Amino acid sequence: MLKPLAITFLTTSLPWLGAVHAASVSSTPAQTFHGIGGSGAWWPNDLYHFPDTVRQNLSSLLFSPSGLGLSSYRYNVGAGGVGVSNPTRAPQTFYVSPGVYDWTRDAAGVYFLQEAAKRGVPHLTAFANSAPAALTSNGASCGGTFVRGTGAAYGTYLADVVAHFRAQGVNIDLVSPMNEPDSSFGPTPCGQEGMQVQPSQRPEVINGMYNALSAKGLTSSVGILADESNNLSNAGNEYASWLPQVLDRVAAIVHHTYDFPSDASYSTYISNTKNAYPSKVTWMSEICCSLGNPDGTGKGWSQGYDPTIKNALMFAGLVFQSLVLASEPHYDFWTLVSNQLGCSPLNNPSCPTTANSNGWNDGLIYYDPNYATNKNYAIYIKKQFWTYKHFGNFVKPGSQRHPIIGSDANKFTMAVADASTYYILAMNPNAADTSLTLTFPDAACATQAFRTSATEDFTQLSGAVKSGSSWALALKGTSLTTYIFDRTRSC
Ligand SMILES: *[C@@H]1O[C@H](CO)[C@@H](O)[C@H](O)[C@H]1NC(C)=O
Ligand SMILES: *[C@@H]1O[C@H](CO)[C@@H](O)[C@H](O)[C@H]1NC(C)=O
């Protein structure tokens, strides 16, 4: 009876194999990181009216190392908000007429752009949801389309905006002329700005942008991002019809992931795009608004506010998917700050810390939607703020990912190295505590760790524990921990 014997052997061996949890950091770097960030739409229009102490605190929470330490900020170049029903989502435009601008407009957006610059955020993107109303098909900032023949005028406007800020020391280095070009976000009255740009029109938008930057000698200092498609499946289907015509004028191919792709679909998108356009990197420039579990099950576009570790780890899993599975160099979350709490903090003090189905997971920091009438200027930090801080603080531009290899390498674990330090970001999405034994390819001496869990917000802990020639990293249930190692010495 050979068969039953073999089965007995396998079942007794499996638990032993599963308990090993050992892996190594590869000596060969993968991608070099470019930035971790998020967008300035549309909260600046509200937060600008908060007391200055709060605006300064918020700026530190977003842009300073003591806060998220973001290395990317996306400034929304307004199209005037014509046709947009929600005033918070109707940013002013500098555009008056061709070549005539009113630089006093959009004081709210400009304030936080300047705060980002002042606090040293190295990558600043100017992105637009629509051309100024005067240039679109319906004379509005949403519900219409790009008009053939306006590429030069639109590009000139955006290049003038970029040049204006650069002259003030706000070094915008990326520009994105069409955010989610597949939708007009109409009909009017619309919930936000938007302008449909057909795939066949996208080369004109890119060429207009490039030529205008070129006329100012800015093509080597300001890169063009395109096309910010809503999702990977749509993006991948459309590239062939426009991208080859302007490939050399695009700095990076950027996408959103509102289809919440499986690992298999994301990998397919990456390999197809790399095969067709090997000279270009792709990156993630917008995501929000999902419920779901720490291991990623149940994710998908949906309403609902969840300020707990459950949702914070689900979103951390999306960052790992883009940076580890897809090996992309840059990641931007969507609006950073939101009023979509779904409840009233003054009526119910537990509102900001309790999940509800009326709000939205579109921010890391929240504020009272009724602040203008009730004068509640408090800001509320969601657990996702603390998990995103691991990426903002430890995945810095110029550092490199080193793959973690071995049979127990985990898709939620990432090694980041600069010349002097290894950062191991490790997430345990399960309830049970585990431990990972990690081996390094060269010198490494544990220094300290930071952990975010149900009860800890980026809490400082002692470092990993030496275990022979390896290091033992304790991974508490449902947590994200970063273990830091000095690369300049062994110990
Ligand atoms: C992908 O984007 C397209 C264009 O905006 C949209 O029609 C489609 O519904 C999206 N698909 C998913 C799964 O989000
Ligand atoms: C900033 O806001 C956070 C969140 O509300 C709060 O915990 C912190 O005390 C504030 N800091 C300052 C300096 O006001």
Residue 354: DSSP 8-state: S
Task: Please choose, from the candidates 179, 177, 237, 222, the residue with its C-alpha nearest in 3D space to the C-alpha of residue 203.
Answer: 177
Quote the strand ranges of 275-377, DSSP E: 282-286, 330-332, 337-338, 365-367
Distance 231 CA to ligand 1 centre (A): 6
- Enumerate residue ranges in the chain where pLDDT < 50: 1-20
Long-range (24+ apart) CB contacts under 8 A made by 199-202 are: 199/238, 199/241, 199/242, 200/241, 200/242, 201/145, 201/146, 201/148, 202/178, 202/226, 202/227, 202/242, 202/243, 202/246
Is there an atom of ligand 1 within 6 Å of 259 CB? Answer: yes
Element containing residue 479 per DSSP (H, E): strand 479-486
Partnered with residue 428 across adjacent β-strands are 479
Distance 233 CA to ligand 2 centre (A): 41
pLDDT (tens digit per residue) in 82-117: 999 999 999 999 999 999 999 999 999 999 999 999
Say which ligand is closest to the CA of 57: 2
Which residues, judged by CB distance below 6 Å to any ligand atom, belong to the binding site of ligand 2?
57, 379, 381
Residue 68: DSSP 8-state: T
The minimum-distance atom of ligand 1 relative to the CA of 231 is: 1
Is there an atom of ligand 1 within 6 Å of 234 CB? Answer: yes
What pLDDT score was predicted for residue 15?
36
Is there an atom of ligand 1 within 6 Å of 238 CB? Answer: no
Distance 426 CA to ligand 2 centre (A): 28
What pLDDT score was predicted for residue 19?
38
Which residue is it, tokens 């590429």?
A: 151
| From 52, 56, 57, mutation site for ligand 2 pocket: most ligand atoms within 8 A of C-beta | 57
Distances (CA, A) of 38 to 112, 282, 304, 400: 12, 16, 20, 21
Atom 5 of ligand 1: nearest residue by CA position: 182
What pLDDT score was predicted for residue 407?
79
Distances (CA, A) of 139 to 179, 198, 417: 18, 18, 50
What pLDDT score was predicted for residue 12?
33
List the domains of the chain with CATH numbers: 9-28+400-486 (2.60.40.1180), 35-394 (3.20.20.80)
Phi and psi at residue 200, to the nearest 5°: -70, -15
What pLDDT score was predicted for residue 1?
35
Is there an atom of ligand 1 within 6 Å of 129 CB? Answer: no
Is there an atom of ligand 1 within 6 Å of 231 CB? Answer: yes
CA 100 – CA 160 distance, rounded (Å): 10
pTM of the model: 0.95
Structure tokens at 189: 């009255």
Task: Please choose, from the candidates 295, 228, 261, 242, the residue with its C-alpha nearest in 3D space to the C-alpha of residue 432.
Answer: 295
pLDDT (tens digit per residue) in 428-449: 999 999 999 999 999 999 999 9
How many residues does the structure list for the chain? 491
Distances (CA, A) of 234 to 130, 131, 226, 239, 256: 20, 22, 14, 9, 10
CA 106 – CA 435 distance, rounded (Å): 50
